[in-house]
Structure 1
Amino acid sequence: MDQQKLRVYLFRIFSFLKWILIPFGICLVISHKIEQTDIPPQATFTFEEHCKFYNYSFEKYTVTTDDDYILSLYRIPGKNPGPPVLLIHGLSNSANCFIVNQCAHPPAFILADQNFDIWLGNCRGSHLSRGHKYWNATIDEQYWDWSFPDIALYDLPAFVSFVKNHTGHEKIGMVGHSQGAAAILWMLGYYPHMKDDLAVGVLIGTSGSIFTSESPYIQFLSSSWLHFLCEVIGINVISDWSDDLFLTKFIQAFPEIAILIAHDLYDIKLNSGLPEHLGTYYHRMRGGTSIKNLKFWRQAVNNQSKNPKLYDYGPEENIKKYGSSNPPSINFMDIETPLAVINGKYDLAVPQKDSLVLKESIKKEKLVFYHDEYPHDHGGLMFSCNMTYFYQDVTQLLKKYLSQ
């Protein structure tokens, strides 16, 4: 082979290889940058470590539900604990959501400072509540055969009963965010007699039965094609927690990308937050939820009625499960417990029109407080750098009804 042909041959080889080597080199550079990125210590704290870092006491308990799920229940008693308040987290989150705010005093600590005895439930499916009497969440698919109504009708009553028995208080207060607030609402609608257990329920960032979320992320989670794909692949849990820090470091290294991704649930500019906080929120907030739970919320989107329904298994299975071809419905007008509804003006996950439907679904004399104009979005109700707007209202509500 003469030199001219050899040069042509080598040129073609290098021309071909550059399309492989250049992207590969770029990936190596980016990967190295990510791996070398530092993250704040709070990003990897456990719940207990976080409390101790900020000088708050911590206690941990386990609660077993009537359907055999074993859940963790945390306590921050405060320095002079008074009446108990139970906090319930949202979809695929954990109790971490109430303590992890990086730019303001977080909700659980605000309430502890007001001398409330703070309890925080970790609902089934959260990585902090994966216990069961008979099933292993890692290997037994049966463990994941639950949805939102099971949280509302089993987990929350078990938490309430435990807190009452442990503290000796006749009534407690409850505060929920997002799905956690909806669970309080559903529990009280299904069990009106629990007015004897709850002094007041504070519902933050939630809708009732009409569910028309404008959040692309929530729409993605509730999409039928995602559920179908997960079932084909054999995935039972989504948005699960992981101890791998690569994505957390990625968010820390490329905050502008993270800002765009988080925008529909947590607008940095709106909430006066800092981009470097997003890595901590991402790692600490993931908790995991079942695919069946997401399928339920798809049903909720399709159910355009003020009276929400339990999980719909189809006519034949409904008869076996409920004794009727249609699942039972819940009437919020049956609720006898005082309720407060607190929603954000810029919340895409819970648009104001959904909030207004909830307002009309509760007896006027039981809806003791309603405000849907707080200057926050969905995540801002937990992570805004100014929590003063509504936690003064929350504190006053709890003090008023827990003192009666």
Structure 2
Amino acid sequence: MLFAGGKLSIRFLKKEGIIFAAGVLCGFFIRTLMAKSDASVNHQSQSSEDDNSLENYILSMKKQIEDWGKQSDSGQNNQKELAPECFMKVPEIIQYAGYPFELHTVMTSDGYNLGLHRIPHGKDEAEDKKLTQKPVVLLQHGLLADSANWVSNGRNDSLAFLLADYGLDVWLGNVRGNTYSRSHVKLDPNVDEKFWRYSWQQFSEIDLPAMVDYIIEKTGNKKIYYIGHSQGTLIMFARLAEDPDFNEKIHLFIGLGPVFNLKGIKSPIKYLAQFYNTLEMGQWMMGGAELLPNSEAGKWLGTKLHNFIEGNPDVKIHGENMLLNIAGFSPRRYCRDRLPVYISHIPAGTSIQNIIHFAQMIWHNETRKYRFDTEESNIEKYGSAVPPGYDLGAIKTPIALYWGSDDWFADSEDVLSILPRLKTLVKTKELKDWDHLEFLYGSEAADTLYTELAEVIKDFEIEFQNYESRHVDL
């Protein structure tokens, strides 16, 4: 029966092959992560006689997961009530917090439907001000994330809510392939491998301009403010560097945990860079593939692990979530009661090609467009055997950058290395001991950073309005 179905059989074999390959790579990655994690996380791995046996390791992990599920289901771990946002989508989270919400869909030039989430005004804003034109800010998430990043810390400590209450028209972006952008005019993400043939290069060249143009048209604002985190900064750097006209659409680019160079990256993801050719071969077999989507199974496991950890303080908390491990995080600095919310919404999925692109940046120690597997393919696509890079010196938009001294992904030295290339910096600030995700989930972020960001935008808006007024008078 297996070989009697023609294309269906071939597809089945390809799927089985990629699942097997992904399993082996993930097994290696988890083992490497446990062995190589930075000492600053105070991770003390427990070895055993069978530690070097991949088979025994996988069986052991499987048993632990099964035991965790049984224990938390039976109530043996003094379960704490989980935040209701664990089981909500972003629109529900926004409305649950008491804020207005609008859902918008943007179709890209190549047929992807992107979900845009809008908070048009603050929770307690006066009726006569709700319909007035406001300064607009677009918040753009990072790798393996979605718009939930900006609302997961609760109504009093989330950046999106604070900016809305500050009088801004807040838009939350979602790039192709994540939880809120899994739609295409022709391609089915569950069937068509071509759906997943993209990397952050397409986010920068297609998705980002589509979202910005839509917002400008919808609101009537000539320019918008932009706050990006991690990958959200990378795609803005790239777009501004190669598109002079796009610079005219952005008042101010604020980068949190900015990523462009990855030479000093400490994240365990760097150990995958040496395998990017292997991943490319797997992608070639598949024609494209999805990585780490947000699923109901993932939500279930995340909440079960949280309950188990709450009842077992000796368990290392960084074992909860792959993205948290990749980014490097200090849970003592987060809102602990919100941890299950974070886990329920990340990872939110991306393509293997996107991960390969990041691996290329690490392996070749440079930031260029996607490098195809043959010189002929690169020549056909770019006109050269080596993909083109990005000239940061061409950026005209004002830039403010914030980074953490304990960031595994946006290493301080990497951030400092790009500053001389940026001619329009208006503010730079290193936050002591902050990690990569503290910009989203930090318990002190609202008081120490978010208010400052709102004030920076306010000052720029006053200056812009004064300029517009002088221009009209002339």
Unaligned runs of 5+ in 2: 1-60, 465-474
Whether 1:208 and 2:260 are equivalent positions in the alignment is yes
Q: CA deviation at 1:195?
A: 2.1
Q: Residue 250 of structure 1 corresponds to which residue in structure 2?
A: 304
Q: Residue 241 of structure 1 corresponds to which residue in structure 2?
A: 294
Query: What TM-score, normalized by structure 2, do the two folds share?
Result: 0.74
Q: Residue 336 of structure 1 corresponds to which residue in structure 2?
A: 396
Q: Residue 92 of structure 2 corresponds to which residue in structure 1?
A: 49
- Using a 3 Å threshold, how does the CA distance of structure 1 residues 30 and 337 change in structure 2: closer, same or farther? closer
Q: Distance in 2 between matches of 1:176 and 1:267?
A: 21
Q: Which amino acid aligns with 2:460?
A: Y
Q: Which amino acid aligns with 1:202?
A: I
Q: Distance in 2 between matches of 1:131 and 1:25?
A: 36
Q: Which amino acid aligns with 2:335?
A: G
- Alignment equivalent of 2:435, drawn from 353, 377, 385: 377
Q: Residue 44 of structure 2 corresponds to which residue in structure 1?
A: none
Whether 1:273 and 2:316 are equivalent positions in the alignment is no
- Using a 3 Å threshold, how does the CA distance of structure 1 residues 200 and 231 change in structure 2: closer, same or farther? same
Q: Which amino acid aligns with 1:53?
A: Y
Query: What TM-score, normalized by structure 1, do the two folds share?
Result: 0.86
- Preserved CA contact (<8 Å) 2:68 2:308: no
- Preserved CA contact (<8 Å) 1:34 1:246: no
- Preserved CA contact (<8 Å) 1:44 1:284: no
Q: Deviations over 1:346-384 (max 9, x none)?
A: 111111101101212211xx1111112344211111101
RMSD of aligned C-alpha atoms? Answer: 2.5
Q: Residue 279 of structure 2 corresponds to which residue in structure 1?
A: 227
Q: CA deviation at 1:251?
A: 2.0
Q: CA deviation at 1:25?
A: 10
- Alignment equivalent of 2:365, drawn from 270, 293, 304: 304
Q: Distance in 2 between matches of 1:60 and 1:282?
A: 23
Q: Distance in 1 between matches of 2:411 and 2:91?
A: 35
Q: Which amino acid aligns with 1:242?
A: S
Q: Distance in 1 between matches of 2:179 and 2:201?
A: 19
- Using a 3 Å threshold, how does the CA distance of structure 1 residues 122 and 211 change in structure 2: closer, same or farther? farther
Which stretch of the first structure deviates more once superposed, 197-206 or 279-288? 279-288
- Using a 3 Å threshold, how does the CA distance of structure 1 residues 233 and 240 change in structure 2: closer, same or farther? farther
- Preserved CA contact (<8 Å) 1:177 1:204: yes
- Alignment equivalent of 2:346, drawn from 272, 285, 289: 285
Q: Residue 35 of structure 1 corresponds to which residue in structure 2?
A: 73
Which stretch of the first structure deviates more once superposed, 257-266 or 285-294? 257-266
Q: Distance in 1 between matches of 2:295 and 2:65?
A: 23
- Using a 3 Å threshold, how does the CA distance of structure 1 residues 30 and 259 change in structure 2: closer, same or farther? closer
Q: Distance in 1 between matches of 2:406 and 2:117?
A: 31
Q: CA deviation at 1:320?
A: 1.2
Q: Which amino acid aligns with 1:133?
A: V
- Using a 3 Å threshold, how does the CA distance of structure 1 residues 328 and 35 change in structure 2: closer, same or farther? same
- Preserved CA contact (<8 Å) 1:104 1:386: no
- Preserved CA contact (<8 Å) 1:66 1:154: yes
Q: CA deviation at 1:40?
A: 2.6
- DSSP 3-state at the match of 2:204: helix
- DSSP 3-state at the match of 1:180: helix
Whether 1:127 and 2:179 are equivalent positions in the alignment is yes
Q: CA deviation at 1:211?
A: 4.0
Whether 1:91 and 2:143 are equivalent positions in the alignment is yes
- Summarize the alignment of residues 103-114 of structure 1 with structure 2, pairs less than 5 Å apart: 105-114=157-166
Q: Residue 14 of structure 1 corresponds to which residue in structure 2?
A: none
Q: Which amino acid aligns with 1:246?
A: W
Q: Deviations over 1:77-124 (max 9, x none)?
A: 113462110110000100000000159510101111111000111101
Whether 1:181 and 2:233 are equivalent positions in the alignment is yes
Q: CA deviation at 1:205?
A: 0.5
Whether 1:101 and 2:164 are equivalent positions in the alignment is no
Q: Residue 353 of structure 1 corresponds to which residue in structure 2?
A: 413
- DSSP 3-state at the match of 1:61: strand
- Preserved CA contact (<8 Å) 1:103 1:384: no
How many residues in Structure 1 have an aligned counterpart in Structure 2?
375
Q: Distance in 1 between matches of 2:358 and 2:62?
A: 41
- Preserved CA contact (<8 Å) 2:68 2:305: no
Which stretch of the first structure deviates more once superposed, 127-136 or 233-242? 233-242
- Using a 3 Å threshold, how does the CA distance of structure 1 residues 359 and 253 change in structure 2: closer, same or farther? same
Q: Distance in 1 between matches of 2:398 and 2:63?
A: 61
Unaligned runs of 5+ in 1: 1-22
Q: CA deviation at 1:272?
A: 4.6
- Preserved CA contact (<8 Å) 1:76 1:118: yes
- Using a 3 Å threshold, how does the CA distance of structure 1 residues 28 and 198 change in structure 2: closer, same or farther? closer
Q: Distance in 2 between matches of 1:380 and 1:149?
A: 26
Q: Distance in 2 between matches of 1:291 and 1:338?
A: 33
- Using a 3 Å threshold, how does the CA distance of structure 1 residues 95 and 178 change in structure 2: closer, same or farther? same
- Using a 3 Å threshold, how does the CA distance of structure 1 residues 115 and 146 change in structure 2: closer, same or farther? same
- Using a 3 Å threshold, how does the CA distance of structure 1 residues 319 and 233 change in structure 2: closer, same or farther? closer
- DSSP 3-state at the match of 2:106: strand
- DSSP 3-state at the match of 2:237: helix
Q: Which amino acid aligns with 1:58?
A: F
Q: Deviations over 1:260-293 (max 9, x none)?
A: 3346622112x1532x432221111221010000
Q: Which amino acid aligns with 1:137?
A: P
Whether 1:59 and 2:102 are equivalent positions in the alignment is yes
- Preserved CA contact (<8 Å) 2:176 2:182: yes
- Preserved CA contact (<8 Å) 1:258 1:278: no
- Using a 3 Å threshold, how does the CA distance of structure 1 residues 246 and 393 change in structure 2: closer, same or farther? same
